Copies of this chain bind each other. A is one copy, B any other.
Amino acid sequence: MNKRHYIRNSSQDLRLFRWFSAKQCALPTPKMTENGLGHREKVLNMNTMNPNVKRVEYAVRGPIVQRAVQIEKELKEGVKKPFSEVIKANIGDAHAMGQKPITFFRQVVALCAYPDLLEDNKFPDDAKNRARRILQSCGGGSLGAYSASTGIEVIRQDVARYIEKRDGGIPSNPDNIYLSTGASDAIVTMLKLLTSGEGKTRSGVMISIPQYPLYSAALAELAAVQISYYLDEDKCWGLDVSELRRAVEAAREHCKPRALCIINPGNPTGQVQSRQCIEDVIRFAAEERLFLMADEVYQDNVYAEGCQFHSFKKVLFEMGPEYSNTVELASFHSTSKCYMGECGFRGGYMEVINMDPQVKLQLTKLVSVRLCPPIPGQVLLDLVVNPPRPDEPSYATFIKERTANLEILAEKAKLTEQIFNTVSGIRCNPVQGAMYTFPRLTLPEKAIAAAKEKGQAPDMFYCMKLLEETGICLVPGSGFGQRDGTHHFRMTILPATEKLKIVLENIRAFHKRFTEEFS
């Protein structure tokens, strides 16, 4: 393992690495028997493959989820378990947890996919008008044509208007909008652009700990340096500029810090940043000469009293030209979260501000190699940024569906916090926003020793046992990063309310049993 990627938090990373290595070593390297071509190893094997890919980890779909899928198969095959179904609270996948799509969105997608339906009286006029407008901007009037690599032009215009409205009129230029295959695609593309240098001039990228593991995975793949800054669990996972400064100063000895990534509202931590905090971060980025990446895919998911979403773009522009003309910013949004939860369509966009025009040409060239983001995802995104207006027939239903989805999420956020905080040994910050809780676990020494014995992180050991005993699939905190010696898990708040109550009760009971077993 190349140590330069691990400026902090190395013991934990090492632990995880050992776990993965142990798994890998469990499979013997196959040696072929003699044949006409002689002895042969595989051309592509663990020794010849890309070493950066080996370093990639992505816990949200890691070993625990693979085990969950196995268990589901076992249940289907009639294997007896102490539970009847696997509940996947590991991933922010609203529809999989029973949330229904927004009717208007799907009507328009269906009309675009099969335009014969434009003759059908069952569809409202606003859906038809929307579909016609989109189809007119598609090559040959078909979703089957490629679009421009940056996305369909009218959709980029709609995105710009959406941003302007969201940010109280601050202008947005469609030429700064790049549509993407979910937000992940655009985030990886930006990180790719930012990666250069060797040794001590290697690009360093600051990411929060805990973080969403897309970031660490992409940095590992690109062999860029991960610079970890810690969120303050005791201050509701708040971000403190002095911690950013500590991290960047330590990192300068090993690499060239170039970018600062922020997730707001937070994943996996669920905090919502205050306006003041965002200002501080922007000032820090300006002083330290860092490219800002603002992951704002949960921008509609704000539940807590007194909390409000502020976009980095808006705050940046309100800080005046000294900042708004200089600080380089890319912000990201997606169709996958918020009230719509359309993960499967892989829609998203990025807005870039103050990007070097020559680099922008390079970015456009780079995205053109993959031709274009999927058109159905672009259509979905268009509907998200341009939903029914008050004077349109679908407006009332749209507002009803959107409000209901967000209210239920707010209710579940509250419920989760309340129930977890009744459990001795689980401590949970308020879920101010996003879709996750990241509670802290107090684990008995004997459990930690038992985990060590197995070569597992203690919270991986805990979550595996929880899965085997209850069918509940969570992601261990070690998959997101956490302060050494602390243990957490990430759970989505997405199961339907009645099911969520059962899940929470089952975790409570499990935690009690677990604590007793290892005490």
Contact = CB atoms under 8 A, between A and B. Distances in A.
A289 B39 CA distance: 12
A76 to B, nearest CB: 12
Contacts of A142: 95-96, 100-101, 344
Contacts of A328: 42-44
Given A50-B193, A53-B362, A140-B99, A27 B357 contact: yes
A378 to B, nearest CB: 9
A60 to B, nearest CB: 8
Given A36-B322, A43-B289, A144-B341, A356 B30 contact: yes
B37 A286 contact: yes
A191 to B, nearest CB: 9
A238 interface: no
9 contacts: A62-B368, A69-B148, A93-B145, A120-B122, A144-B345, A146-B343, A221-B369, A344-B372, A345-B375
Interface string A24-62: 100101101001110010111110111101101110111
A138 B342 CA distance: 12
A306 interface: no
A122 to B, nearest CB: 8
A344 B50 contact: no
A264 interface: no
Contacts of A366: 53, 56, 221
B369 A345 contact: no
Interface stretch (A105-113, A400-408, A471-479): A105-113
A61 to B, nearest CB: 4
Contact of A290 (B43, B322, B325, B369): B43
Contacts of A100: 142
A98 B141 CA distance: 8
Given A37-B286, A56-B365, A289-B43, A49 B144 contact: no
A98 B145 CA distance: 10
Give the interface residue-count category, chain A. Answer: 35 or more
Interface string A338-370: 001111111000000011111101100110111
A177 interface: no
A371 interface: yes
A425 interface: no
Nearest to A224: B50
Contacts of A53: 192-193, 362, 366
A236 to B, nearest CB: 28
A214 interface: yes
Contact of A50 (B195, B342, B369): B195
A374 B184 CA distance: 13
Interface string A185-206: 1001000111110000001000
Contacts of A372: 343-344, 346
A203 B53 CA distance: 15
A97 interface: yes
A253 B56 CA distance: 31
A176 interface: no
A326 interface: yes
A177 to B, nearest CB: 16
A48 B258 contact: yes
Interface in A83-128: 91, 93-101, 106-107, 109-111, 113-114, 117, 120, 122
Among A97, A341, A376, max chain B CB count under 10 A is at A376
A143 interface: yes
A265 B258 CA distance: 44
B143 A344 contact: yes
Given A289-B40, A343-B146, A374 B371 contact: no
Contacts of A148: 69
Among A27, A181, A343, max chain B CB count under 10 A is at A343
Nearest to A42: B356
Contacts of A355: 42, 44
A377 B146 CA distance: 13
A484 to B, nearest CB: 25
B184 A32 contact: no
Nearest to A59: B368
B287 A37 contact: yes
A497 to B, nearest CB: 16
Contacts of A157: none
B144 A358 contact: no
Contact of A343 (B43, B145, B362): B145
Contacts of A60: 368
B96 A139 contact: yes
Given A96-B140, A96-B142, 14 more contacts: A29-B356, A44-B258, A45-B356, A46-B358, A49-B196, A50-B194, A96-B139, A97-B140, A98-B140, A106-B113, A109-B113, A110-B111, A143-B344, A184-B371
